[in-house]
Amino acid sequence: MALTHKAKKRWSLAILLVGLPLYIVASVTIINFLYPDPTTRPPLWIELSIYIGLGILWAFPFKFMFKGVGQADPDA
- Which amino acid belongs to residue 60? F
pLDDT of the chain along its 76 residues, tens only?
A: 678 888 888 999 998 899 889 989 988 898 888 888 878 888 889 888 988 888 888 888 888 888 888 887 777 7
CA distance 58 to 38: 26
Q: How is 37-55 classified by DSSP, letter by letter?
A: SGGGPPPHHHHHHHHHHHH
Residue 68 is predicted with a pLDDT of: 80
Residue 15: enclosing H or E segment and its boundaries? none
Closest by Cα among 69, 58, 71, 76 to 11: 69
- For 62, other C-beta atoms within 10 Å of its C-beta total 15
Locate the domains of the chain by residue range: 26-65
